[in-house]
A = this chain, B = another copy of it.
Amino acid sequence: MALTKPRIPAGTLELLPLEQISFQRMLDVIRRNYERFGFLPVETPVFELAEVLLTKSGGETERQVYFVQSTGAIEKDADAKLALRFDLTVPLARYVAEHEHDLSFPFRRYQIQRVYRGERQQRGRFREFYQADVDVIGKDTLSVQFDAEIVAVIVCVFKELKVGAFTVQFNNRRLLRGFFALLGIGDIEQQALVLREVDKLDKRGAAAVRATLTSADFGLSEAIVTEILAFTEQLSSSHTQALAMLEALKTRGSNSELDAGIAELREVLSAIAAMGVPEANYALNFSIARGLDYYTGTVFETILTDHPDIGSVCSGGRYENLASHYTKSALPGVGISIGVTRLYWQLREAGLIGVSESSVQVIVTQMDAALMPEYLALASLLRQAGINTELHLEPAKLGKQLKYAANSGIHFALIMGSDEQAKHVVMVKDLRKQEQFEVPRAELVQTLRVELEQHAALKLLAKH
């Protein structure tokens, strides 16, 4: 028979088991912290009705949507055309509108699922990737303090992810628009265009953005563009300095957007401090604009201090109305999204993520086939005690079994031959330290628990 070459589609990331364990631990950290802050889980179907999914702004070519069709003639109605979700925000809007009367508001949800984009093939670009979102949706109103809570939860997530130094940086689009108005850019449309150029500063650099803004299309004067660029260079290095940046801006003038932006940022800063978020982990950054049109207030980005080249690893912001395509209710919200697949890949490329220890903690080796019932009972004993245990059921030489265990990243191997059996002891081999010691069988569970707990505690210390 001719063989088919086993391979995955371009743009997908598939991991070996020990890598998958590392990745899963990242997802677990994110989920645990999201739940710690009182966010509730939601999952939505991977595909939505195309008509429903693509309502909003309709840019399906832009987003390279994947369409889905079954082989069967089941779905004859045109209505049933399906498409894979390209983010978790549109499904959230649909979810909130559909279940509006069954939800309590403010509705705090987290969602950790994969999304799909038919991106151009490129290293580090994924067509399938995990997003881990938190959002709070209000009915009619939503306190700006929630924006501060978003910063606090993301700081907790990234601290526990152990990615080194980082800052959640934020700004406010009303403040930016107000500032542009001070400079004489009063037209809403033009403000939006300038916002979009400011958002490109990271990628294009100041010179290119200056060239665009002073071109005939924009027609801004050199002096004004200089003011804009100088303004966007401001990044706070402490809480006090962030407040001073806002204070200094007030002296430059006043209009309703600017004043509102400043007031909102003050409230966000004050709530962040009240929650005890470390100063090193947040900053006010006047260059953050976010390209997406739907953000209306606070906007967030997250930067890894030692890897600024990676760009923002977690971004989001506040929006005025989440679900205007699906419901007449006014649903303001604020949220943020971690692109987990990309983050994992980047951390691995940067050497910040190694291969994980196995989720298997102990392996029971097979020294003597006649003792198999004893090995089976021993494995059961450990499993009942909550220890992740593999049993080497395939006969093999002990050396080969131990090598397999070491290669698999398993911490402890248990060895029991007829001698140990007669003495009611088990030989415990620590495959990390290459030490071994005899333990009375009655004390085995307790001994392994202590060893595993000590190891976990030491690992935690080493990383802090």
A242 touches B (CB below 8 Å): no
**Distance in angstroms between the alpha carbons of A386 and B383 in the assembled complex:** 26
Q: Is A447 an interface residue (CB 8 A)?
A: no
Q: When the two chains form their complex, are residues A68 and B84 in contact, meaning their CB atoms are under 8 A apart?
A: yes
Minimum C-beta distance from A358 to chain B (A): 7
- Which residues of chain B have C-beta atoms less than 8 A from A46's C-beta? 46, 114, 116, 128
Assess the B69–A104 pair: CB atoms within 8 A: no
Interface string of A267-308 (1 = CB under 8 A from B): 000110011100000000000000000000000000000000
Contact B377 A74 (CB under 8 A): no
A205 at the interface (CB under 8 A from B): no
**Which residues from B are CB-within-8-Å of A98?**
6-8
Whether A71 contacts B80 in the complex (CB less than 8 A), given A14-B45, A49-B7, A114-B46, comes out as no
A42-57 at interface with B (beta carbon < 8 Å):
42-49, 51-52, 55
Q: A8-B44, A38-B363, A52-B7 are in contact. Are A380 and B20 (CB under 8 A)?
A: no
What is the bound-complex CA distance between A55 and B6, given in angstroms? 10
Assess the B275–A379 pair: CB atoms within 8 A. yes
Q: What distance in Å separates the Cβ of A288 from its nearest Cβ neighbour in chain B?
A: 23
Work out how many copies of this chain go into the complex.
2
Interface residue count for A (Cβ, 8 Å)? 116
A153 to chain B minimum Cβ distance, whole angstroms, is 9
Chain B residues in 8 Å Cβ range of A270: 373
Q: Does A156 contact B (CB under 8 A)?
A: yes
A21-B40, A98-B6, A383-B37 known; A121+B45 contact, CB < 8 A: no
A358 touches B16 (CB 8 A): no
Q: Is A94 an interface residue (CB 8 A)?
A: yes
Partner of A4, one of B55, B372, B374: B55
Query: Which A residues are closer than 8 A to B by beta carbons?
Result: 1, 3-10, 12, 14-18, 20-21, 24, 35-38, 40-49, 51-52, 55, 60-61, 64-72, 74-75, 80, 82, 84, 93-95, 97-99, 102-104, 106, 108-109, 114, 116, 118-121, 127-128, 138, 141-143, 145-146, 148-149, 152, 156, 270-271, 274-276, 323-328, 358-360, 363, 372-374, 376-377, 379-380, 383, 386-391, 393-395, 404, 407-408
- 19 new A-B contacts, CB < 8 A, other than A37-B389, A70-B118, A143-B393, are A3-B327, A4-B51, A8-B44, A8-B94, A14-B44, A17-B42, A20-B40, A20-B43, A24-B41, A35-B360, A38-B363, A45-B128, A46-B46, A65-B70, A67-B71, A104-B404, A149-B391, A275-B376, A276-B380
